[in-house]
Structure 1
């Protein structure tokens, strides 16, 4: 496939970009803080949905150096007709999906054009693509007031709500983007429908709707919450993922686990494979957005989602998988109206088996790339699509636009067994753990961010219970360690003492249960905390101690 040329050096983002830009509803460009359950305040990292600033910087570098497979992914993006900077939007005031008068293709075509142009802008710095993305998004936020139709209107509110937010997140700091108007559209048009579905399920019994219906609405609530700096929406989405009543929550979307085989049955596996793979893509997007805000949904229940992805990948590669009969009730939730009764699936659904959807490199990028976990079936199926494309590359109907795609370009697993994070402080959210030589402090960050980036690797002294160590990206071979209860950056001398001092156990945040605290491996009653902008290791006694010892891991 012919690729577009890129002039070097690449510019990954505009001069006004920020890794933690926030906005208030009253005045664009001013910082707003999300209120946490403990009463402290906290900013969300931006850009911070399916792509982060470090993702964009890394991909820009890889494409600029013409490294594969990123260059192949870039070529697919450049060849996609929706990524053309001359794209002209066709906004509507009312979008209809389902029933009479459907017009929703105008919406999903424009969303994917906005997303793809925004990606091209952030990776290449080409202003024409940034202008195109902004033109499309501004046109829609200036006109759209209603999403309607039959029950499928809830699919539209979920899929296009989360995709809209992701496109807008990439241009949120563009000087021509109407941020407040777009934020208002997401909060007044899409979010109420998402919440209505998750609460009422269109008046149906709770098992009536497949996992995808919940998942797309969950993804929309999460994406809008992060984009709009609304902690209540983020908490709502994550809590539902963990144990919501509907089929999109993890226990219901993945109802049966075959632990001895490393597999888990997906809720729609007995239905067909097109919808099943769609579900893997939606849950992958949800987990990625949460992860980029320091919330680990990927690892929930001993990596239950990984086992489900392995199951779906194995079956779609043509292999047999175990199947537990799946029984559900359908119909309206009513004491008087009849319902369709009970249904049972006894074998995996063969419809659409082997279907190509660009969802796999995103899943592989986390489990294999970041975490170093074995994912043989996902690895195999991802390789059959690599480099994958995006909306419009997998069919002209709406199913070809259910995933944003371009996983090879954006999430190919380049670092096996590690991931790069910055440690944002809970109670001083503009500050991160940084090093200057051996000195470690919390300070605000400005680009470049290398001295605030740490490769999170398996613990040097022990790996039980997920123990980790922090290696400096700026100074490879140097690790965060404690020395006389002070945190320093030092070269690994290979000694047992060094390894013990540089190993920590991540635990639930002491001041916020969506964040993380780090307990010392060899002093289990001591935690990493900041004090007077220095960083030390201390026991935890007070509420202030707990706040000082709580961090968000921002990829």
Structure 2
């Protein structure tokens, strides 16, 4: 009796099935796309908030006298942070209470860290070795002395200073050829004094944990610590989602599980008494726009560092939350009347110089319309520093497509 072949479609199905089994058995299935928060296989340097390509663009524009970069550069170099006669003021123990009371080394540490970053930028743009050497002097002074941060604001202080140090160190270590003998000691300072604090995060207001996470991400890049990078990025994704509300979140904002905000009343209290939730509102909008600006700034810095390291967060909910937060806050910072349902009809303004990074990434690179953010960004140029951890972002990110 002749053998009747199976129908062609059944043969095809069997062959495909066998091929699939073979591929799975041999472990040849293509890997899934890497998580958006995963550490890169190889870290890019300099790669904390600003990349070499961005620095090259800035240098070209400043040397050509182009605006807004030349004006931003002149603003930076005229500041006390760029003073080549600056004497660093390190302490073994930096003690910071609530609202910096007491303030034993808190301002000094933050300003020295920003100064080191300022000098690093000035070095890259001018190639004047004196700036690189001053940045090294400041970083070496602190790495030789500091052991800890204490008092109630210690975690936040560690995050603020810890956000600026790696930005400076990345530029100096990877672009200055004059040598930095103390680089390993500085890395040890970041690893032993800063990272153990900021990697833990915080259950306080969102700007605390976002600033701390920014520091953890930047330090992880400098140390090439993939485990810490992954941990910090995972925490960032959770906290960013809990900081900026989107209508798609549901009736209530997302929460950080460890905070146990498990009732509506608890959530409303944590959101400064605000009970009406609209897209772009942040957890601290009704506190004031200044602290809100800290949180938005940190979100933009982490997203930008992630982009430089090869993972796109702007294309995730992080980018959408950043866009909406910038637009919502910018609208009221520009003077729009506050409705009764929002913060009882009264807002404390003072967003700060925090819009450039997010505006550049979302509007300039991705082409998203951001009318309010654009108006505020242009109005504030050149953006200076908030004297905490945000500095010179018109210079580094203003209309910078690199």
Normalized against structure 1, the TM-score is what?
A: 0.57
2:208 alignment partner in structure 1: 213
Which digits, 9 at most, give the CA deviation of each residue in 1:426-465, with x for residues without a partner? xxxxxxxxxxxxxxxxxxxxxxxxxxxxxxxxxxxxxxxx
2:149 alignment partner in structure 1: 147
Q: Residue 349 of structure 1: CA displacement?
A: 5.2
Q: Residue 42 of structure 1: CA displacement?
A: 2.2
Q: Residue 313 of structure 1: CA displacement?
A: 0.7
2:172 alignment partner in structure 1: 171
How far apart, CA to CA, are the structure 2 residues paired with 1:60 and 1:40?
Answer: 29
1:377 alignment partner in structure 2: 372
How far apart, CA to CA, are the structure 2 residues paired with 1:40 and 1:283?
Answer: 17
Extract structure 1 runs of 4+ deviating beyond 3 A: 256-259, 320-325, 346-349
Which digits, 9 at most, give the CA deviation of each residue in 1:128-168, with x for residues without a partner? 11110001001111111111112x11111111111111111
More strand by share: 1
Question: Alignment partner of 2:76: what SS?
Answer: helix
Question: Alignment partner of 2:247: what SS?
Answer: strand
How far apart, CA to CA, are the structure 2 residues paired with 1:271 and 1:381?
Answer: 20
1:364 alignment partner in structure 2: 359
How far apart, CA to CA, are the structure 2 residues paired with 1:75 and 1:42?
Answer: 38
1:59-458 residue pairs with structure 2 within 5 A? Answer: 59-98=58-97, 100=102, 102-150=104-152, 152-173=153-174, 174=176, 175-196=179-200, 198=201, 201=202, 206=203, 209-243=204-238, 249-257=239-247, 263-301=279-317, 303-320=320-337, 346-347=343-344, 350-351=347-348, 353=349, 355=350, 357-390=352-385, 400-415=386-401, 420=402
Q: Number of paired residues? A: 332
Higher RCO, 1 or 2 (CA under 8 Å, sep at least 6)? 2
How far apart, CA to CA, are the structure 2 residues paired with 1:129 and 1:349?
Answer: 45
Question: Alignment partner of 2:347: what SS?
Answer: coil
**Contact 2:111/2:388 (8 A) holds in 1:** no
Q: Residue 79 of structure 1: CA displacement?
A: 0.8
**Contact 1:118/1:171 (8 A) holds in 2:** yes
Question: Alignment partner of 1:66: what SS?
Answer: coil
**Contact 2:245/2:321 (8 A) holds in 1:** no
Question: Alignment partner of 2:173: what SS?
Answer: coil
2:27 alignment partner in structure 1: none
Distance 1:65 1:386, change over 3 A: same
Which digits, 9 at most, give the CA deviation of each residue in 1:254-278, with x for residues without a partner? 124389xx95111101111111122
How far apart, CA to CA, are the structure 2 residues paired with 1:222 and 1:82?
Answer: 24
RMSD: 2.5
Which digits, 9 at most, give the CA deviation of each residue in 1:343-389, with x for residues without a partner? xxx436522x1x26221112211111111111111101111111122
How far apart, CA to CA, are the structure 1 residues paired with 2:209 and 2:340?
Answer: 23
How far apart, CA to CA, are the structure 1 residues paired with 2:345 and 2:363?
Answer: 26
Gaps of 5+ in 1: 1-35, 244-248, 326-345, 391-399, 421-555
Q: Residue 296 of structure 1: CA displacement?
A: 2.0
**Contact 2:40/2:310 (8 A) holds in 1:** no
Question: Alignment partner of 1:216: what SS?
Answer: helix
Normalized against structure 2, the TM-score is what?
A: 0.77
Gaps of 5+ in 2: 1-33, 250-277
